[in-house]
Homo-oligomer: A and B are copies of this chain.
Amino acid sequence: MAASIAPADRMLIEWECDRLVRRFAMLNDDRDHDGLAALFVEDARFSRPLAPESWTTGREAIRALFRDRPPRLARHIMTNTLVDVVSATEAKGRTYMTFVSTTDLSKTPPVAEPVLMYGQFDDLFVLEEGEWRFKERRGSVALRFEAKA
């Protein structure tokens, strides 16, 4: 808790961090790796949901991680974002992610792979140069839903 921050100011921080989470998803699905990298501070670290303990450290390494992925059509559906303000320049949060994707674009609309992944991101946010950015973003997966057995 950050008792010295007025409710309206706290809401604005929570809202900005929530927007950051949504921008991550949109830029990721748009395959805009430069836009994605700009959401992280210089010394941030990131792990993907399928490899929570495998950290990529530094904005440039994070940019390369996204840039060098095999192309795919994906939707990162972000929900339940809950941000807790630590101070006027620090916050932490958790977001649920539903992930659906395909590499096969032969149909219209494309048919997704027969698995939906249900995961989450645990985030540390910091205010830097007037913008809220990711300091740490740890992915993990909780469940998979399979269309075929």
Please give the residue numbers on chain A whose beta carbons come within 8 Å of chain B beta carbons, in ascending order: 7-8, 11-12, 14-15, 19, 22-23, 25-26, 73, 75-82, 94, 96, 98, 100-102, 109-112, 114, 116-118, 141-149
Known: A12-B7, A112-B143, A145-B116. Contact between A79 and B79, CB under 8 A?
yes
Contact of A118 among B14, B15, B22, B75 (CB under 8 A): B75
Docked complex Cα distance between A117 and B77 (Å): 13
Q: Do B100 and A145 touch across chains, with their CB atoms under 8 A apart? A: yes
Closest chain-B Cβ to A130's Cβ sits at a distance in Å of 10
Instruction: Note all chain B residues with C-beta closer than 8 A to A11.
Output: 11-12, 15
Q: Which partner residue on chain B sits nearest A49 by CB separation?
A: B109
Q: List 23 A-B contacts (CB under 8 A).
A: A11-B12, A14-B15, A14-B19, A19-B82, A22-B81, A25-B80, A26-B82, A26-B94, A73-B142, A75-B96, A77-B79, A77-B80, A77-B96, A77-B118, A79-B79, A100-B145, A102-B143, A109-B117, A109-B141, A111-B144, A112-B118, A147-B149, A148-B149
